[in-house]
Chains A and B, each alone.
Chain A
Amino acid sequence: MYISMKQVCFRYEGSKRKLLDNFHLSVEKGARVCILGESGSGKSTVLRLLAGLEMPESGVIEMDQRVLVDDKQMVYPEHRGIGMVFQDYALFPHMTVSQNITFGLKGKSKAEKQELLDEMLDLVDLHAFCKRYPHELSGGQQQRVAIARALILKPKLLLLDEPLSNLDESLKEKIRPELKAILDRAKITTIFVTHDKNDCVQLADYIVVMNQGCVTRCGLLDEVLIRRPAQVEFDLVT
């Protein structure tokens, strides 16, 4: 498997309850996986563990046959080659769109940086906004900048934490196909979390349903969500 989380346990410092208890997850290369769950189900924590922003209490996380975390080692977030788009995008407010996108590029010439920037601006269709600051952009545009910023480093895995939750319903309807188109063009293994089943239907190939730190159901989108919507609903609320 390209990504594997084995027997992962996690609890936040000071908390008695384990948020994840013996959690397992396997993802194939190139898959687009949606983790669906209600608030507090532990779905965002899975992303943070994969990104290296949290340390599991026990268990092993591997990517592309490389151990990211086990009892002996911990690869820091900056060395994992994993891109992440945060729920509120976390665009650096003191940098323009171009500066935000190229921020992670190191050891590249000016020309190389410009080339990569142009490629990303094409991908997310933001050429006209490259000199703007984040506060001068709409929610959807900010989201595209955050995706471009993550993708410019050619990560091995892209994580999206509730990528549409900051947008209102009408905007979500408009953005979903755009986001799908960007991810299609990027051709990258992607894991995203959401509590909105519509996001899963439109964006994912595979679905993982989580409830109280455990995977209750997983498989192809068709098999899990399309054919058995009532069971997924039951999993989410019980």
Chain B
Amino acid sequence: MNHSRKFQFFRNGWGIGSTIIMLMVLFPSMFILSGLITPASENWTHITKYLLTDYILNSTILVLTSAILATVIGVSLAWLIAAYEFPFRTALKFLLMLPLAIPPYIAAYTYNGLLNYTGVIQTFLRNHFDIQVSQQLFDIMNMRGAIFIFALCLFPYVYLITASYLEKQSAAMIESARMLGKGSFEIFFRVVIPLARVAIVGGGSLVALEVLSDYGVVKYFGIETFSVSIFTVWFGIADVDAALKLSGVMMLFVMCILLLEKWLRGRRKYAPSTTKAKPLKRIALTGAKKWIAFSFCLTVFAFSFLIPVLQLLHWAYLSFDRLDATVLAGAVANSFVTTVVAAVPIVIAAIIVANFNRSRSGFWSSLFARMMSLAYSIPGSVVAIGVITLFVAVERQLAGVFLSGTILMLVFAYFVRFLAIGYNSIETGFEKLGKKYTEAGRTIGYGMTQTFFKIDLPLIKPAVVAAFILVFIDIMKELPLTLILRPFNYHTLATKTFEYASDEMIHEAAISALLIISLCFVSILLLNRLTNRGNA
């Protein structure tokens, strides 16, 4: 088709809107990558000579081991929940999602508080049994501790994707293997793992990207990774060029993870070969087996959610009298306002891009989708540096306009980072809907926009709500980006929790941490209800 015909066919506000949105998402990354080719400063020479190897090594070890451990936990839970019937399976299926409500940095403060010399465990052992334990054994403020925290908090990414895949898509193959006389272990290793490889790798790489993006845990535990180094260079020595270069190297690191993911996925696609998939029929476990399965799931749930929440509740009780209600109310209000103000345009933009992309397949739609995924893969601290550089450049062009250090900058950064979350949810909604209703609307006299509002929007409402909830959860928990870009003296629940914990006021941090967890918990509950209704 020649370009004139293509242009005539696709010229509309949706296409123009999508292109503008994609440019907005792309600009910060372009600024960061351009930083790689600027002349090196003295600090950068120092960093490359003495520190960069450590950053790369620490980040690699942390990312790989956390992702592997989270994948092992997530896949084994997914297999148990999807394939077997055992006591409280339905409740555990939901409960195992809940660790998503706990940001890793909150789990890190909590576990350190639990395990250190004055923590409840050591105190209990000392006071009741006169047992003095080795501090080295209980010290989790190191690489091993960080891996433990990440695996516990992030395994739900692998668990959710893999369980959903196994429940819906694998029945025929697993049942065939059963009919061919294969036992549980053989089916798991020879059928389930290869079959769900794409889902497992997808979940694992999400964990890897989350670990790389983290700032709260590694800062608290004193592990020198990329995130920490960017903060140090930015706030410590105020070297913008070096921070940009570090961010650029971190982006290359992200691309390596994405390439690794692509290689691990192989030629397989995360899509069923048939739409006539039937759910996997679960086998009822009997005797000791059912209690072993139950205990395993319960133990993971206890360590990843129950114990940290109980500890936080205890601390909140202890510190309740010292609570500064005004500060906390301010942080709650700020969190809500920032989250909602960012989530609404994200969802609207996601709708615009998704609606345009589905109207055409091929190069542009694929490019738009890839660009958004890439933007989501970029860690918060890197996005923050890119956004600051962009806003400073804009300010230079528009003399007298001050955008840096405003809420607008923070909201824009959330927009860049979390657009993909909203997009994925809405794209899924559109995929389920297909194009037939839109085409029918157009043949009976409505344009693309009218058809969207009258036909598509009412039908994809659950996907829009899901997109809002997912973005809400992510922004509510977000720390590094908020820490860098928030206006002066502007606190959200996440930054307040981080601040209290950094000041060793761990009990005071409990209430704001619990508020984040509660808000995310309610959001997950709503999302679960919405998903179940959609599947019904």
Contacts and interface: CB of A to CB of B under 8 A. Distances in A.
Interface centre among B1, B4, B362, B441 (most CB of A within 10 A): B1
Contacts of B326: none
A149 to B, nearest CB: 6
A201 B308 CA distance: 74
Contacts of A150: 443-444
A77 interface: yes
B320 interface: no
A57 interface: yes
B458 A94 contact: yes
Contacts of B439: 51, 53, 77, 84, 86, 90
B115 to A, nearest CB: 54
Contacts of B444: 78, 83, 103-104, 149-150, 153
A78 B439 CA distance: 10
Interface in A19-55: 51-53, 55
Interface stretch (B5-13, B167-175, B188-196): B5-13
A92 B445 contact: no
Contacts of A153: 444-445
A97 to B, nearest CB: 15
A55 B9 contact: yes
B268 interface: no
B1 A90 contact: no
Interface in B345-388: 360-362
Contact of B459 (A56, A72, A88, A93): A93
A90 B436 contact: yes
Contacts of B459: 92-94
Contacts of A14: 361-362
Interface SS of A by simple majority:
loop
Nearest to A146: B440
Interface string B436-467: 11011111111100000011001100000000
A104 B437 contact: no
B445 A51 contact: no
Contacts of A72: 4
A73 interface: yes
B134 interface: no
A51 B2 contact: no
Contact of B440 (A56, A92, A94): A92
B8 A83 contact: no
B362 A83 contact: no
Contacts of A103: 441, 444, 454
B160 to A, nearest CB: 28
B5 A55 contact: yes
Nearest to A82: B443
26 contacts: A13-B361, A52-B442, A55-B5, A55-B6, A56-B1, A57-B1, A58-B2, A71-B4, A76-B447, A78-B444, A78-B447, A83-B444, A86-B436, A86-B439, A90-B437, A90-B439, A90-B440, A91-B440, A92-B440, A92-B455, A92-B459, A94-B459, A103-B441, A103-B444, A104-B444, A104-B446
